[in-house]
Structure 1
Amino acid sequence: MTPNYTLSGRYRIVRSLGEGGMANVYLAHDLILDRDVAVKLLRLDLRDDPKTIKRFQREALATTELVHPHIVSLYDVGEENGMQYLVMEYVKGMDLKNYIKENFPLPLQQVIDIMEQILSAVATAHAHNIIHRDLKPQNILIDEQGNAKITDFGIAVALSEHSMTQTNTILGSVHYLSPEQARGSMATKQSDIYSLGIILYEMLTGSVPFKGETAVSIALKHFQNAIPSVRDFDADIPQALENVVLQATAKDPRDRYITVEDMASDLLTTLSTTRAGEKRFIPADLNNDETRIMPSADIQAAIKANQDGKTQVMPRDPVAKSTEVHPKTPESKPETDDAPLPTRSWSKRHPLRRRIIIFGSIFVLLVVAVVIGLELSRPQSTTVPKVTGMSQAAATKVLAKHNLSVGKVKRIKSNRVRTGQVVKSDPGSKTIISQHARINLTVSNGAKKMSFGNYVNESYRDVRQTLKSAGFNVQERFSTSDVAEGQIISQDVVAGSTVLPTATTVTFTVSAGSRYVELKDLTGESRTDIVNYAQSNDLNVNFKRGYSSDQKAGYSYDQTPDGGNDVRAGSTITVTMSRGSQPSGQGTPENFYVKLTLPYKSLTTTATPANDVKIYLQDDNHVLGTLYRDVAIMHDTRVSLPFELSGDTKGRYRIVRNGVTISEKANITSKDATN
């Protein structure tokens, strides 16, 4: 693909970004949306290979399902002259592999921050039941602001696609391959967790734990050799941080973290002083001395993989077995009960049998006594109650009622659980354990700020679900557009800005297509019914208020345009809601202005320096939930807000900058007027 070639009449190729075994990646410019994008083009020599095409299509499908600020977004999929291509978000920066090489050693806090971003992205994939299967630093991009984004879902697989993995078939990069994948077993979520542990190891030490001359020798080390200690490399690394690596890379998947969220929660507290002096993590299978039998299938797979002649199975010598001799003593005769021994008793004739019976009886009695003693001394069991969402004090009381006590208390950032409330317990609720056991609690330390993504051209429905689950308040307004219906056209929170989800309201402008709607008569309707009608028909509604002697308060008495007109989807209609009849003797409404300064906030993480500011008013003519004014500011800006208030009515305003409420005032009267 040569520079300046325009793909599908829209994407002008700028230069090559890299070549891979399946596709070549180019930097291109989207001529319609005027932005840089990355184009992944299937190699010409592979365009007739059905397996490669299936993998290419699988990447498109997997990426389309995943909407997350730390997953590279997919913008478009197409084909031109037999060439299949993907158009993806262009991340200006480098992959994590090169980032480690150029910046090693990385500060521990930076390692945790980058790893947390990666974990949150993988958690989203796992929530959609998608396993990446090829997590490695080369598939993680770091932008110029230090944010991580996962890419290349080419061999990702849904949990239901069992046919994708076959025995003795290895998929993924061998340096980051889990032991079960190295043996050709089915990849699971724990397989991704193992790869994440290897990535964390490399960020801490600058290299992978296992190296070898061949891929086979490296794969064997993954399920034979213990992970080297990161503290042997750097003694300043806390034991708690090394324990995250050890648990994530445990040989047995059952010893690893159950979920990626569990790994993230553990990782966030590794630098806390409360975990100083923590003991080294030892997998459960190493804490007992029982002998484990390696399945024959694993032995055969290992022998088949290691065909270097070093491991041999020696057959048992058949000659030794056949020449084994049992000598007979001619002089000895078998003693029987029929022999003439009239002077000897049975016990004297069978002293060995008598001893066996006596000692056997004693042994049986001892075993019975021990079993009874253990049964009597066994503590009573109880069920762990559900304490999530409770304060720590309330959880302590509930546990005490079940004869349980609080063990370790770990604090993490959470956008879903309020400060001071329990996020989870360990063991979890409904687990049956012994009474008087200790239950570890994870308590919310408040919400955490996050970098807001660029969601333009993505499905509003999917983005809304993702952001609401993260704690955002999400709103929509419609606009007529040639863009596909339901796609996001613009957003009022600047991409790349750092925001607090629980304190952020984001409004997306969503394409309503180009269809027309026959507007019905909305007079006499309640506010709720009008909003529902507008949303179901992709219309925007602007509410006003006024007095009406013909309509009771809370219901509409006027609208613009009138009912029966055809309006384009995405249009804005204005509806006036009745405040009831105007009270007698109330006098002329007061009209005044309130002046205030809109503060400008410098944005260093985006190429768009303007602040998007939305102003909401409430007075005789305006409703607080309806946008009064939308302005873009480049510096501190002075504005005047008009109010019209009758009688004892109080005014109110709210100022929202880049999606975050920065100012709000209620109970405004003419006394607040400024000249």
Structure 2
Amino acid sequence: MRPNYVLGGRYRITKSLGEGGMANVYLAHDLILDRDVSVKLLRLDLRDDPHTIKRFQREGLAATELVHPNIVSVYDVGEENGMQYMVMEYVKGMDLKAYIKQHFPIPYQEVINIMEQVLSAVAVAHAHNIIHRDLKPQNILIDDKGVAKITDFGIAVAMSENALTQTNTVLGSVHYLSPEQARGGMATKKSDIYSLGIILYELLTGTVPFKGETAISIAIKHFQSEIPSVREFDPRIPQALENVVLKATAKKPADRYETVSDMASDLETSLSPRRASEPKFVPAPDVDDGETKVLDKSALNSEASLKKPQPDEKSTPKPKKRRRRHRRLYVLLGLAALLLAMIGLAFWLGRPQMVTVPDVSGLTVTEAQRKLSNSHLDMGTVKKQSSPDIEKNLVIKTSPEAQETARKNAKIKLYVSTGPRMVKIGNYVGQSYTRAAALLRAKGVTVRRQNESSNEVSVGSVMQQSIENGQRINPKKTTVTLTVSAGQRQLQLADLIGKKKSQIQQYATRESLNISFKYKYDNENKDVAIDQNPGAGSTVKEGSTVVVTLSRGKKPDSNSAPKVEDFNVEVNIPFQANDSSGSNKQSSNSGVNIVQIYIRDHDHDYGTVYKQLTIAQDTQVTIPFAVASGKNGGYKILRDGKVILSDNNVTKNSH
């Protein structure tokens, strides 16, 4: 797979991360969610096997159900040009095999911490009835923060079915293969437990228990040879910790832990001083299938007669010697009792002194150290981790936990909060709501949509965001509201007939309508509406023009009335762009001009607005005038409250 190839129209291949027995892995970039991912492609020699392909797809889809911080997330499963691929979380770090090689010897508590993460992940998989079947250090990743993540749940079944025919794969997997799998039997949840026991063995010793020239020779050792003792490799390892290895790797599944959770519980207390004298784990012996054998009475009498001393008929009793023997016996018994008492006293006096771990959660590191010191305990390593509940730089918990017992002067590990996981907010104004919401939800942010009408912003685009670009938020406590354009608002026209001019102008301003007035002599009072177009009840968009005819009053006598000439004047109104640079917010009024037109003629004066309109570009308007003979008219045009055009000598012939 070459670099820059875009898989599925979405995942741009960056480089190769490695090759495995079943698939090749690449680093890629998700072009939609803008994040790095790892892409696993089924190997060429397996792409024509329909059974393997079916398993790959089914198990990959099943793995998408496994949501756990210690499991590599599977985001997508698909096919392109016959290539079966799986898209997963990209973990920046190394696999556990390399980690052991680089960090061995690993402190016992760190070994337990790693195993507890792995066990927690496998427990979730088992709860979904998914068996990994190929647990090994190469399938466990350790990121740069020390978090363990299991991978390859998606193709575990396919791998187990092909492992014995692929030398490279099986040499990596057979070291961790359970006896029942080595015999060709079906893998169960207890098969995973066996593999986990081998991984624990390798963490403690730096090597695998069985080695050989061929995969078959190693597999035979799994069901014939006993697991070597980890305490022979390192006598300091507590017996309780070795017992976890022995019980997990018992040859018979019945002798192993019932569940992964049982193994985790046993491992958690394996370093406890209370288990210091624990005996070595020995699997239960096989039960004899034959009947119980009972010795008859004569045999019992015969056996008893062999043990009972017979009197010597020729000898004579010697009571003095017998009494001396009795006295020596009593003296020896007394000395033995005294010796046992002294040993018991020495053990009692030499036993480790135990103290209770205090609760230091919610304290600073300094305060926690002081409280531990008051309880005769020392502060151990400090591990940072995020917490949605505990403030930054305060203690979350300890290991061992509060109220548990620990050896006096033991080192107690502190887990200190880095605060909640914070998410950086980008600039989503101008993007489609669908894309912006997807980007935010991928980061765990709750998104709320709020619609708002707009004449300038296209439908579905983000106009405004509640959190500014560059801010960091706690996604569990903060909701991001995106204001989205719903396009131009529509409304039903009111009945304007009978309304006064001033009332109509107020209505037009309130509903963002443009009103064009015409005049006509009528019996109604002057400046009262006698007609409108469109009519009452019509649906119009915000910003539309409504023509309203006003009454001039009763027509005067033709002899006394001055001659009024009607004519139109064309005026170009220039648009002025607003300066909105540096802002992440956009309102429904940005990028537009509010324009008012005042006219003076036979029917109007400068006291009231003739027309108000909203423009987003240079706009030409037609102004109707009614000017009496020998008189002139005038107009003033205001843009955002400032006069930009005016003419106080308007006549029919002047324009």
TM-score scaled by length of structure 2: 0.47
Q: Which has the larger radius of gyration?
A: 2
Query: TM-score with structure 1 length normalisation?
Result: 0.45
